[in-house]
Chains A and B, each alone.
Chain A
Amino acid sequence: MLLLERRPVDSSLMRWASPVLALVLTVMTGFVLFLAMGKDPVEGLTFFFITPISDLIGLAELGLKMAPLLLCAAGLTVCYRAKVWNIGAEGHFLMGALGASAVAVQLMDMSGFWVLPVVLVAGILAGMLWAAIAAGLKTHLHCNEILTTIMLNYIALNLLLYAVHGPLKDPYGFGFPQSVMFAESALLPDLIPGTRLHLGLAFGLLAAVSVWVLFARSFIGFQLNVVGQDQRAAAFAGFGARRLTWFAFLVGGATAGLAGASEVTGPIGQLVPQVSPGYGYTAIIVVFLGRMHALGIIAASALLALTFIGGEMLQIAMNMPKAVTGLFQGLLLFYLLTCDAFIHYRVRLRAPVRKPTRVAAPAATQEA
């Protein structure tokens, strides 16, 4: 009989092997899926994983999708390390896009180097404001942050829809629900000329490095870690859980807000209803896959960015539904969590007859 047994010490090998294992399992599942749909699996997987990044344009597109994922994931890493279950990156992102757009539309006739920073800061502040609502609800009114952030995501989406149908709608836009195209002075500069890759990726990488510095070199990072691992210990040490919760939320809101602002001032250049294909939700997968570590989330955001463009590629090349992206992401997260169980547990073979009689109660209490 197979038995799950707690390891005396968590396996650090498994901690880093688990994401790789999850990826392998996902690819294998994809292989079977392609077969089941009567498509050539090798061709399909090539189109999904390799074709999109086989030239400079493709790599630039990868960076383009990485930027928002990495920014959102950096903020969420700070939250999840402190066990603040902020699912609201999508809402922060949308509010960031909305806030930046509102300002950019106001500054249409302005030129000057200061316009872009003002627009970006507006996005950051809007994201932080949205995060602050959830933070306040948690620290002062004890509301579960998972539920409030999810609800705030839906509210943010409706606010954005309201804006593009109402106050921010382009009066000469032939009735399409979208804002005017922003002025040149409000647009992010390109990183590589001739591609769509813009400064947003640099923001993302900077955010990841900041996360590393925060947790490796700063006292507040240490406090966040302690609060996340043992709230009682943190309380004894006098670390203010409330203050840390606010910090985590505000960082999460700021980075995701910047991501939203970078998206409207970068590749899109205006506010549209479909500004996010779910970056804020995918960023959650990035954080788990990246082991809440700066280098990890950089690698994971590249992989998940690939799932977005790979899905589009499959749609064009093999007439597959674009939803394959979401399926792939879901499978990846599912396998990851399953593999993660083996960080704490190992499988033992044991004959059922040898099972000792249970004198269980005290032992079980210790276990819990």
Chain B
Amino acid sequence: MELLTNILAAMVVAGTPLLLVALGELICERSGVLNLGQEGMMLMGAVAGFVVALTTGSLAVAVFASVFAGIGMALLFALMAVTLAANQYAAGLALTIFGTGLSAFVGAGFVGESIDGFERVAIPLLSDIPVIGRVLFHQDLLVYFSLVVFAGIWLFLHHSRGGLLLRAVGEDPDAANANGLKVLVVRYLAVAFGGGMAGLAGAYLSLAYTPMWTENMTAGRGWIALALVVFATWRPERVLIGAWLFGAASILHLVLQGLGWRASTELLAMLPYVVTILMLVLLSWNPARTRLNTPLSLGQPYRPGR
């Protein structure tokens, strides 16, 4: 029981950065924009947060810095992919390559430094519930925040006018435009939100998960999150479950080693990526179903008619 609780708690921690970035991308994709730059935005968020935390000593300021770094990167992407109607695949790739390079450059002087990251805070009463208390209510503030954001996004998408407008833009931008919606503004907001969330996910890595900075510390999480959104068929509740499942996959090697398994760490480190491919296979073999769930205008630039 003790072991299971520990594993579940570690799973939630490992899943939180995925949850944050995937929720952001979910909103972005629901507006019809596919941003492949998650990895770049996360890395910029991670490095910005770490550098600010180290220089100011304030984790709160650091988190804001991360979010703004992510938004800044997202706006660059929006400039290319939304305003200039560039190919979204290429623009997203560019953002990832640019973010990887820029974050390594900014963080070059900070490799090897360390900070005091986010501590766990037990929520009174709730944290005394057996198992669930330790797993969900004895975590750091960013984990709680990820759950709040999840609830907010769920309500927004399915129970608010704003969510309806967002989905309208993603499904049929021409119809949305004809109804007087500003398609490009909605897309800008969605992309910026995605960027902020990716920045926050980066902050989680460099301020809570492993409070330090190393080049490429996201290790493909931005890409896994993109697969996660497909896996979740663009629904937030499935993103939540998926993120935690992927979290479990990424700590599996620790668990197995804890149980006395002797397998190569390098081989076990492949697991999250193998699982991602398997998930994609499971979900994509039926193209009709994928098409049914995908926001209809996903990946297509929109130019308002004149």
Contact = CB atoms under 8 A, between A and B. Distances in A.
Interface stretch (A190-198, A210-218, A234-242, A353-361): A353-361
8 contacts: A155-B270, A155-B273, A159-B266, A162-B264, A281-B97, A326-B100, A330-B102, A333-B93
A329 B101 contact: yes
Nearest to A154: B273
Interface stretch (A48-56, A200-208, A257-265, A338-346): A338-346
A168 to B, nearest CB: 12
Contacts of B174: 361, 364-365, 368
B99 interface: yes
B97 A321 contact: no
Nearest to B93: A284
Interface in A113-168: 137, 141-144, 146-148, 150-152, 154-155, 158-159, 161-162, 165-166
Nearest to A324: B105
B187 to A, nearest CB: 14
Contacts of A166: 264, 266
A325 B276 CA distance: 30
7 tightest Cβ-Cβ pairs between the two chains A and B: A326-B101, A330-B98, A364-B305, A321-B108, A323-B104, A341-B84, A330-B101
A17 interface: no
Given A87-B93, A150-B223, A358 B305 contact: yes
A209 B76 CA distance: 36
Contacts of A87: 93
Contact of B270 (A143, A159, A336): A159
A141 B267 contact: no
Given A85-B89, A338-B79, A360-B177, A330 B280 contact: no
B178 interface: yes
Contacts of A328: 101
Interface residues of B, number: 61
Nearest to B108: A321
A334 interface: yes
B6 interface: no
A16 B305 CA distance: 29
Interface in A237-282: 281
Chain B interface helix/strand/loop/mixed: helix
Interface stretch (B7-15, B152-160, B163-171, B281-289): B281-289
B230 interface: yes
B85 A151 contact: no
B302 interface: yes
Given A85-B89, A154-B220, A368-B173, 6 more contacts: A144-B280, A165-B266, A288-B90, A337-B91, A341-B80, A360-B306
A333 B101 CA distance: 11
B270 A158 contact: yes
Contacts of A162: 264, 266-267
A363 interface: yes
Interface string A268-305: 00000000000001001100100000000000000000
The interface centre, meaning the residue of B94, B226, B300, B304 with most chain A CB atoms within 10 A of its CB, is B94
Contacts of B175: 361
Given A162-B266, A330-B100, A143 B277 contact: yes
Contacts of B284: 141-144
A220 interface: no
A151 B271 CA distance: 10
Contact of B86 (A144, A321, A341): A341
Nearest to B297: A368
A327 interface: yes
A4 interface: yes
Nearest to B91: A337
Contacts of A325: 101
Nearest to A362: B305
B101 A323 contact: yes
Interface string A1-15: 000101000000000
Given A143-B277, A323-B215, A361-B305, A4 B101 contact: no
Interface in A305-340: 321-331, 333-334, 336-338, 340
Contacts of A327: 98, 101-102, 104-105
Interface in A84-126: 85, 87
The interface centre, meaning the residue of B85, B280, B305 with most chain A CB atoms within 10 A of its CB, is B305
Nearest to A288: B90
Contact of B97 (A285, A323, A324): A285
Nearest to A167: B264
B278 to A, nearest CB: 10
Contact of B227 (A147, A334, A336, A356): A147
B190 interface: no
Contacts of A152: 273, 277
Contacts of A333: 93-94, 97-98
Contacts of A340: 86
